[in-house]
Structure 1
Amino acid sequence: MFSRRLAALTLAITTAAPAFAAEANAYPDIPEPMVFDMVRPMSARRGELETNVLALSPLSGQERALEWAPEVEYAVADGFALEIELPFEGTRLAELKMGAQATFGTMDRGRIVHGVQFLGIYERESKRTSQALLYMLGRRHNERLSTMTMVGVGDVRLGQSESDAGLLVNHSTFYDLARARVVGLEVNYKSHRDGGIALIPQFHAPLADKVNVQLGAGADRQRGEPARPVGGVRLIKEF
């Protein structure tokens, strides 16, 4: 059922893709958050391919396993990209995740770009599926300062009585340093039963040609649990 929904969404957005398409330099340059990343930048052009892996771990003596997730992202049309992600908990494959992202265009004389992101998740242990839909708004305030805000609803389980849909908010503020280096603060909030809030200061830098790294360390507080220090890294390779 989920695959049919994603296929229908892909067909609808791809059909309308020429309405979103614009020259790449017409879009503001806004970094991607480290934890809640985007499906390619919103200025993505057809044929762009990226692989990356995110790893997150508690920095105190918690029993929770290392969480890590390799993913592949591909722009099937200008302003429209798909991703496949495999979230692991330790050595256990916990979920299968697919995503789609469409860019609507720009506003405010090219300083603002907006679009939508859809995520579909299959939980292997419970065999349940859920969806999330978020509106995305990025703004380049000046040549150094930019923000990316994603707001929507997540954990939607259609046709299931145990659905626990709730608010999803991710806001990141970035400051561009010299030589393609960026510092930022990412705030991630989930209102679900098992949600919480995380604040992750981070640093982005190039490692080699088309290879980048994002490093972050901050605090994560899940509902009903004390706050804990957490660290993470995302390694990115573009093709």
Structure 2
Amino acid sequence: MAKNLHYLIMLLAVLSCGLAGKVYAEPNDAVLSSEELGIPEPLVFDLVRPLGSPKGELEVNTLITRSSQTGEFAWAPEIEYAFADGYAVEFELPFQNSSLEEYKFGLQGTFGELLKGRMIHGWQALGRYGRQENVYSADILYLNGARISDKWSTLNMLGIRWADFGKREDIVALINNNLFYHFSRNLTLGVEMNNEIHEHKQWRYRLTPQLHYSFSSNKAVQIGGGPARLNNKKSDWLLASRFIYTF
């Protein structure tokens, strides 16, 4: 089922190229991945800042994840800042229970708009240092958001992860697909599919149906949960939430 949903979201992303004229959505949303097009930001694999963000924007947020099978609890506070128009940085501290697991740094840029303003694209680079394993890793991704209609939008990411700088062959393909429905000015529904494809055809995934509720233009919460298979473990059910405040 997860694979089929992944293909469906990719198909909708392609179809979005020709379905709508330029749309200027005005949702009351603090978690947009594109401010001009009103495309939401994913719950699990979020962006540094919305594509095209103006200089000076600042955001703090915390992602909280819990396994329904093991009870393991993870949380990751982060701060994000747009240091120039369309460019932003972030610093994140992922914890496992009370133990600090990583230092994470992100950099993101915007290429611009496509299809007469119906699409926006950019890039994201992430670097990590794992404190427990003393391992350095990095991601590089292409980002593409499109407005399908006044109610539907999609955001997709494609990239690679060098999971361990000490192992040249440890390369992972990353595919993240999101489909969103703008239910009202304050409420957005969505589904997020994260895929990691390793060598020897190892496939890890996390499927997260989710809702976003904006209390105002600078305060919002995202809640979701769904099946996942990560780190070569058996399938699990992960619950997640993210609390956001922007300045």
| TM-score normalised over the length of structure 2 | 0.81
Cα displacement (A) at 1:210: 1.2
Question: RMSD in angstroms over aligned alpha carbons?
Answer: 1.8
Asked if the contact 1:156–1:163 (Cα under 8 Å) also holds between the matched residues in 2, the reply is no
Q: Residues 114 and 138 of structure 1 are in contact (CA less than 8 Å); yes or no, is this contact kept in structure 2?
A: yes
Matched, 1:53 2:59: no
> Using CA pairs below 8 Å that are at least 6 residues apart, which structure has the higher relative contact order?
2
Q: CA deviation at 1:217?
A: 1.3
Aligned length: 212
| Structure 1 residue 209, shift from structure 2 partner | 5.2
1:96 corresponds, among 94, 98, 103, to: 103
State yes or no: 1:233 paired with 2:241: yes
Matched with 1:168 is 174
Shift of 1:206: 1.2
Partner of 1:149: 156
Q: Which residue of 1 aligns with 2:227?
A: 219
Q: CA deviation at 1:125?
A: 1.2
Shift of 1:67: 1.0
Pick from 100, 121, 146 the counterpart of residue 139 of structure 1: 146
> Which of 121, 130, 155 is matched with 1:123 structurally?
130
Contact 1:27 1:110 in 2 (8 A): no
Which letter does structure 1 place at the counterpart of 2:102? E
Partner of 2:211: 203
Q: What residue ranges of structure 1 are gaps of 5+ in the alignment? A: 1-24
More displaced, 27-36 or 77-86? 27-36
- Comparing 104-113 with 214-223, greater Cα deviation is found at 214-223
Q: What 5-or-longer segments of structure 2 have no aligned partner?
A: 1-33
- Provide the rounded CA distance (Å) in 2 between the counterparts of 1:31 and 1:58: 25
Please give the residue correspondences for 1:57-76 in structure 2 after superposition, counting only pairs within 5 Å: 57-60=66-69, 62=70, 65-76=72-83
When normalised by structure 1's length, the TM-score is: 0.84
The partner residue of 2:195 within 184, 189, 193 is 189
TM-superposition CA deviations, 1:178-203 (whole Å, max 9, x none): 12210000000112378610110000
The answer for the alignment partner of 2:121 in structure 1 is 114
Which residue type is aligned with residue 73 of structure 1?
E
Give distance in 2, aligned partners of 1:112 and 1:207. Answer: 27
Secondary structure at the aligned position of 1:125 is classed as: coil
Counterpart secondary structure, 1:109: helix
